[in-house]
Structure 1
Amino acid sequence: MERVANIRTEEKRYHDMCYDSYNLFEPGSWLHRPVQTAIDLLEAYTDQEYLSVLDLGSGIGRNSIPIAESMKNRNGKVVCVDLLESAIEKLESYSQKFGVEPFIVTKLSDIEHFVIDKEKYDIILAVSSLEHVSSEKVLHRKLNEMICGTKTNGTNCIIIGSNIQEVNLENGQELDPMFEVNLSTEKMLDLLVHQYTEWEVQQQFVKQLEYEIERNGQAVKLTIDCITFVAKKL
């Protein structure tokens, strides 16, 4: 559990720095725009009067605020779950700024302890968040909860990292990646396909990403296989 605590301390430091350095939808960081795959999900629900969305690991609202904006012409709620107080505080502030406060519900919680009620949500998003549950066993359990918590014809959108590596750029030393769950890409895809075996898989692809980040004052190269997996409950 010490490793998990260390990772979460580092993640908190990194995200707090991002949230303080960059405004939501400001060019220059990954906060610049929402994930298009997540926004495209809304097209299937344009005729639905009430839309219920769960955003696991919402951060400051990169995806949940644009989704909430789509509710101005109907009704609905986006339940936003995040571990960081700083993220929830900024999300509440941005929801006021963008006029979507009535459609946003914030929950300060880590993902694994947030209870997903059965058949409650039309859309469940987990963007770069499930790799931060405390173990592979918890990941299995959370995916089951997501499946049970989705209404018929509802959609799950999972974007998750696999085969994650961190290398110190100064000396080439391989580091222990600051991610609680780090499966091979093949194993992660097998897990997702197995869990969603009775669903219609709408998207499944892998994109290798590479970033230069900072860990403890050192420049580090992070490489990650980014899996996008979208499935619909029939």
Structure 2
Amino acid sequence: MDRIAHIRSEEKQYHDYCYDTYDLFKPGSWLHRPVATVINLLEKYKEQEYLSVLDLGSGIGRNSIPIAESLKHRNGKVVCVDLLESAIDKLYRYSQEFGVEQYIVPRLSDIEQFTIEQDEYDIIVAVSSLEHVSSEQALERKLREMNAGTRMNGANCIIIASNIREVNLVHTQELDPMFEVNLSTTRMFELLDHHYAGWQIEQRFVKPLEYEISRKGEPVRLTSDCITFVAKKS
């Protein structure tokens, strides 16, 4: 199995386990609430009568369901792209449970293969997903697509990991991180600054993250720099 296929197999196992074990918006996991940066960005578009949103790597709806709930008093859509069937199935069920299925457009697809139409979206959200395209070149292609797919005065919200390390805590052994794209923080900012030159940068910061995950049944410490980057096309 090549490296990309191996990473995607590991990520599928990890996410399938999370989606089966933890309920959306219930305490106990990272699924218990949406990302504050996304919700704060959404607030800036609350007066807009029609809102078109793309959620790349939507999972089971952690961010897309709250976005859809904001459309109940107006019109709009949330296109939700995810590679995992388990995520799209549960997204559909949760969208029914929360009464927002008419706003949710599920798309079972690799982010890389999903075509972003030009000038289609007011907001594009990519939370912990762009580091799972196949290469740095693929990341650049996607950023160009996101740029072209955003309407004037629209925004992109990117949360992406850089400088990622995984250490097996049983054997204190450094592992190959299960992320397709693992750039230095400096390089990641260079790419973002380049592709969003001319946009209004609303947030641009990094914070270190550390948490414990499981790989092959053994505890692993995952550390990364978590970059938050929000830009408005103006």
What TM-score does the superposition give when structure 2 sets the normalisation length? Answer: 0.99
User: What's the counterpart of residue 34 of structure 1?
Assistant: 34
Structure 1 residue 41: deviation in Å?
Answer: 1.0
What does residue 148 of structure 1 align with?
A: 148
Q: In the TM superposition, what whole-angstrom CA distance separates every residue of 1:58-79 from its partner, at most 9, and x where no partner exists?
A: 0000000000000001010000
Alignment of 1:1-234 (within 5 A): 2-234=2-234
Shift of 1:191: 0.7
- Superposed CA deviations along residues 151-192 of structure 1, whole A, max 9, x for unmatched, are 000000000000000001012110000000000001101110
Using the TM superposition, give the Cα deviation of residue 89 of structure 1 relative to its aligned residue in structure 2, in angstroms.
0.2
1:175-224 deviations in whole A, cap 9, x for unaligned? 00000000000110111011101100000110101011110111100001
* Offset from partner CA, 1:13-34 (integer Å, 9 cap, x none): 0000000000000101000000
SS of equivalent residue, structure 1 residue 201: strand
Query: What's the CA shift string for 1:64-116, capped at 9, x where partnerless?
Result: 00000000010100000000000000000000000000100000000000000
CA distance in 2, matches of 1:220, 1:104: 35
Query: Percent of aligned pairs with the same residue?
Result: 72
Q: Quote the Cα distance in structure 1 between the aligned partners of 2:79 and 2:150.
A: 13
SS of 1:67's partner is helix
CA distance in 2, matches of 1:171, 1:51: 50
Structure 2: distance between partners of 1:131 and 1:106: 21
Give the counterpart letter for 1:7 in structure 2. Answer: I
Kindly report the root-mean-square deviation, in angstroms, between the aligned alpha carbons of the 2 structures: 0.7
Letter in 1 for 2:92: E
Distance 1:13 1:42 in 2: 31
Give unmatched runs, 5+ long, in structure 1: none
The runs of at least 4 consecutive aligned structure 1 residues that moved more than 6 Å come to none
Q: Report how many aligned residue pairs link the two structures.
A: 234
Alpha-carbon distance between aligned partners in 1 of 2:213 and 2:46, rounded to the nearest angstrom: 39
Distance 1:94 1:75 in 2: 20
Secondary structure at 1:190's aligned position in 2?
helix
For 1:35 and 1:47, the matched residues in 2 are separated by: 21
2 CA distance for matches of 1:228 and 1:15? 22
Q: Distance in 1 between matches of 2:45 and 2:209?
A: 31
Tell me, in whole angstroms, the C-alpha distance in 2 between the residues paired with 1:221 and 1:112. Answer: 28
User: Which residue identity lines up with residue 89 of structure 1 in the other structure?
Assistant: D
Aligned-partner residue type, residue 227 of structure 2: I
AA aligned to 2:10 is E
* TM-score relative to the length of structure 1: 0.99
C-alpha displacement of 1:42: 1.4
Distance 1:44 1:24 in 2: 25
Unmatched runs of 5 consecutive residues or more in structure 2: none
SS of structure 2 residue aligned to 1:28: coil
